[in-house]
Amino acid sequence: EIDIKTDIRYSESRSNAPTISQAANLDLLLVDDDPIITRQLSKKLSEAGYQVAVCRDGESALKYVIQHRPPLLITDWRMQPMDGLSLCKALRNTAFGQSIYIIMLTAAESEDELVDAFDAGIDDYVTKPVSVRVLLSRLRAGQRIVLLQQEVEKERRDVQRYTAELLTANRRLELMAHTDILTNLPNRRYALNRLAQEFEAGRRYNRPLSLLMLDLDHFKSINDTFGHDAGDQVLAHIAGLIKHAVRSNDIACRLGGEEFLVIATNTDGETALLLAERIRATIEKKQPATLKLTRPITISIGVAGSSPVLNSHKELMRLADKALYAVKQGARNGINL
Ligand code: GH3
Ligand code: MG
Ligand code: MG
Ligand code: MG
């Protein structure tokens, strides 16, 4: 056993205590105002495998911990301007300072001092003169807690990430179940649910609601002439035009086949008729560039506005359907209320 002129005692290990160098490699902050102690101790701690940083007082230690979040802290008690006790209290008052494992170096083992130190938040203490062997063994004990904590923290983060992934997966599934894959518009299932909701909301808040039922004219001949794939492309093209023509609070959906539905919330029949005409004119004007059409692609639109006599959204659907039928009976490429 060698005694150096400072507070530190060294002794050779008699036991086969596990060397922590394999397990350690943990960041450790050493806080002491005595440069001889920090020099000697940090050398021994580094040899044991810790990544050692040194501060000279509580204030700079606090700054260091905020920045680097070391899991282990060894601090002296008496320092200027901020002593070890104040440092512990300050750390335990912060969220990030909860998990740091604190060993205090104390001059004496007085009952009052120990109670003060533990109440301030230390986890363990080592008396001066410091036995390096004892300090290292106490660090090993602390390390078990640190590693456990890190494991719990990692698990918590895993659960968080997993939950987030599940939520996004759920949202994606929900979106898929509501979306038509050819046109990316909401599908029939969504359209009918949403219409029922909007019908009820419109009635409750006494807001007008209109419905546009759209059906492409002679679409069968597009398929017959250019093939089903070309027909699909035309459907996607038309869907884009409809989506662009409607306002942001109108809900454009694909009911199926070459039939679309626009739910126009807060819109009376007359206004919906203007919207329908805008859609019809847009489709007539913006023909798909890729096909050599003999006759332009056009659409017929039936419009229905809600009124107090209607009992359900299905009646509104039927009215729009009727209006559409009337257009189809005529020259097509038109609108009807
Ligand atoms: P009308 O003016 O009376 O509406 O004539 P139409 O040919 O459009 O009417 P009809 O309902 O008889 O035919 C609709 C056609 O739309 C039948 C089918 O070939 C085509 N169609 C339906 N769904 C799809 C689809 O997903 N892709 C393609 N390419 N064609 C479809
Ligand atoms: Mg001191
Ligand atoms: Mg049809
Ligand atoms: Mg049709």
pLDDT given for residue 263 in this prediction: 98
Residue 236 CB–ligand 1 contact under 6 Å: no
Residue 176 Cα to ligand 3 middle (Å): 24
pLDDT given for residue 24 in this prediction: 64
103 class by beta-carbon count within 10 Å (0-12 exposed, 13-18 middle, 19+ buried):
buried
Residue 328 CB–ligand 1 contact under 6 Å: yes
Ligand nearest 219 Cα, by number? 1
Q: Which amino acid is at 334?
A: G
Mean pLDDT by 10 residues, the chain (337 residues): 46 47 77 95 95 95 95 94 94 92 90 93 95 95 92 93 92 94 97 97 94 97 94 96 94 97 96 97 94 92 92 96 96 93
pLDDT given for residue 70 in this prediction: 95
pLDDT given for residue 16 in this prediction: 46
Catalytic residue among 113, 153, 258, 259: 258
Q: Please list all protein residues whose beta carbon sits less than 5 angstroms from ligand 2, which is an ion.
A: 33, 76, 78
Phi and psi torsions of 336, nearest 5° = -155, 140
Residue 126 Cα to ligand 2 middle (Å): 14
Residue 274 Cα to ligand 2 middle (Å): 85
CA dist., res. 221 & res. 289, Å (int): 17
CA dist., res. 276 & res. 283, Å (int): 11
